[in-house]
Chain A
Amino acid sequence: MDTLDTHNNKKLAQVSKEPQRLNKAQIAELEKVQSISKIIYNQFKEHKAAVIGAYTILFFVLVALSAPIVEKVMGVNAENQNVFHRYEPPFTTISAGTDTRENEVRKYIEENPESAAIVQAELIKEEFVTVSRPEDALYEWARFEKRKAMAAIRLLSIDQDIKTDLRNVAKKFEIYHLFGTDELGRDVLMRLIYGTQVSMGVGILVALSSALIGLLIGAIAGYYGGFIDTMLMRITDALLSLPTIPVLIVVAAIDLQKVPVLASLLSHGSESILKLIFILCIFSWMPVARLVRGSILTLREREFILASKTLGATDFTIITRHMFPNVIAPLLVSVTLGVGESILFEAALSFLGLGIQPPTPSWGNMLFNAQELIYRAPFLAILPGLLILFVTISFNYVGDGLQDAIDPKTIKR
């Protein structure tokens, strides 16, 4: 329905803009032969909101993919929790949890055992720490506040190099949380970024795989027609008319591990993600199937298909070589719009606690976790929601733009 809707909408918008005079240079430019992808690209660029949307998506993808780099730059770790500093508001600096500190110290000791021994001896000699075993001295030092730890380093009589190293360790005793911390004291920014990977990943995968399913079913139905067509299309109609969310909830409640074949496939940690993708795919291929069937039905009657048939091409070749290229453009629109929709469905299911299971972050389950403490930490609920909104809106705009771009009626030639 979206397809139809955007289609008309933009088409008309363009048409009404049409009456403008072109100068000669422009006409010459337009008369040059252009490849179809070039035309689409140029046309797409006209749609400002779609371009902004595309850049937004690009930005999110880049950020999601560069999660490890962001982690380095921000000096945080997505999984590290700090239970004494839960629900911290955005833009706060807090001292790191003991385990984070001890890890840093252990790393230091393992890398520089000699200098560590010197420091340990010094720490005990200066009576900064009191310990039963000398090798614990550095660990005790790690319990200091950052400023105190730094001061201790300054007062120790050790090499400057070691001091610098130690300062680097001590720097990690404090962490800056751009978006604050969540219910376990984890860094919200990093969780959002990893959540982006999961949510957008699920959205894109679902859209792509359901497009594949739809392509297959639509192609078979459209090409062979007759009984096969009737049957497949009735199934499609039936699935389309079901109320999505209740169906998804019922299906999500089914434990796939009870199905013996799937049990072995799903026995890993990513089980809930795979399951979700699987379920969403089952219920989102129908619009694509309809679209493809429609295109193939008209293509079937065209001369070039008849020609290839006469030349003895197999059905498979005809469908894949000659028909698919002609449906790719509308398919692309459908996939793009599908990503937005899938993201929303993933969020809805996870929000009901039936989607992606913790600790894997996704925008939906971050919202689910946040709703209990919405009064104490509203930002925890607002941030993932905003991201869902931004990304979905971007995908919808891009889809809209693509639709305009491939619509022959709007192409200015």
Chain B
Amino acid sequence: MPGDPVELMISANPKITAADVARLRSFYGLDQPIYERYFNWVSDIAKGELGYSRTYRIPVTEMMGPALTSTFVLSTVSLAFSLLVAIPLGILCALKPNSRVDYVVNLFNFAGISVPSFWLGIVLIIIFAVKLQWLPAGGYQTTGVEYETLMEEILDKAAYLILPVISLSIQSIGRFSRFTRSAMLEAMRNDFIRTARAKGLASNIVIWKHGFRNALIPLITVVALSISSIFSGALITETLFAYPGVGRLIYSSIIGNDFNVAMVSFIISVSMVLLMNLVADLLYGVVDPRVSYN
């Protein structure tokens, strides 16, 4: 990142003198050569000392906790929502391929993949927050409200989640639904489906127990790979909806030159994504007995 915290201070205050600058530079250790600074930083990280935020003067870990939770809630709800919408849509299309429904859903899927989520977010804000005033335009809870019951709290926070979740989910819905459709089509072509039908099993059982169970395997891969992109997307969505998650933390710390926070939150979020990828890989083995990790 260009500029260091001292430069930022100078730009904010014309009265800072050369002596001040030299003093502050040595204070932040900025007068040391770059490799030394890097080495210090890495050894601190290795020791588990994630350092302090320059802006807030509190340990980065304290900031990361709530931010990670918020992002986790947003991403999980969004993932669950996309799956809940996408899987039925995909199956519906797979059962009636090339029907009118299939074409409409397909168009919707393509639109979902192609729409810029931030733009959708803006449009949603215009419609639901400004024109209709049904939903709040941003934030994560009503400020200054003391919740009497847990229910009240969930309700309140849910209202703040609706728009971000929709704008974040739209792309994954498109993706998952297209994928479910093709995976399901493939699964339904298998011989055992025909056998099951011939046996006279109820079509629901055939679809869910025989068809969907098999479509699930490739679907898991796609979902796992999508975690990274949902996480990515959360950054822009969070910025747009003023939702206090890791994404906004990264963005605002870069803009505010709080480089320690930016680095650490970036590292943590990347490791989180990698961890989820690993979990997905392991899951793959669970769902598909043919895969083994011996």
Contacts and interface: CB of A to CB of B under 8 A. Distances in A.
Contacts of A13: 97-98, 185
Interface stretch (A2-10, A104-112, A159-167): A2-10
A11 B181 CA distance: 12
A299 B159 CA distance: 55
Interface string A379-413: 00110110011001101110010000000000000
B274 interface: yes
A1 B222 contact: yes
Given A250-B266, A351-B116, A396-B114, 19 more contacts: A5-B178, A5-B179, A5-B182, A8-B218, A13-B98, A13-B185, A241-B274, A243-B229, A245-B236, A246-B266, A246-B270, A344-B116, A351-B119, A367-B119, A381-B122, A381-B126, A389-B111, A389-B116, A392-B114
Given A352-B239, A385-B123, A12 B254 contact: no
Interface of A: 1-2, 4-13, 15-17, 49, 241-246, 249-250, 253-255, 258, 340, 344, 347-348, 351-352, 367, 371, 374-375, 378, 381-382, 384-385, 388-389, 392-393, 395-397, 400
Interface residues of B, number: 52
26 contacts: A1-B222, A1-B225, A2-B113, A4-B218, A5-B175, A5-B179, A8-B218, A9-B178, A13-B97, A16-B97, A17-B98, A242-B273, A243-B228, A246-B266, A249-B250, A253-B1, A254-B2, A347-B118, A347-B119, A375-B126, A375-B130, A385-B122, A388-B115, A389-B111, A389-B119, A393-B110
B127 to A, nearest CB: 10
Contacts of B262: 250
Closest 8 CB pairs of A and B: A9-B182, A385-B119, A8-B182, A392-B114, A12-B185, A255-B2, A245-B232, A393-B114
Contacts of B232: 243-246
Interface of B: 1-2, 97-98, 106-107, 110-111, 113-116, 118-120, 122-123, 125-126, 130, 175, 178-179, 181-183, 185-186, 189, 218, 222, 225-226, 228-229, 231-233, 235-236, 239, 247, 250-251, 254, 262, 266, 269-270, 273-274, 277
Contacts of A382: 123
A243 B75 CA distance: 13
B186 A8 contact: yes
Contacts of B182: 5, 7-12
A9 B266 contact: no
Contacts of B222: 1, 4-5
A378 B116 contact: no
B24 to A, nearest CB: 21
Contacts of A393: 110-111, 113-114
A12 B175 contact: no
A144 to B, nearest CB: 40
B228 A241 contact: yes
B236 A348 contact: yes
Contact of B122 (A2, A371, A392, A396): A371
Contact of B118 (A5, A11, A351): A351
A6 B178 contact: yes
Given A250-B266, A374-B122, A16 B98 contact: yes
A288 B287 CA distance: 29
Contacts of B110: 49, 393, 396-397, 400
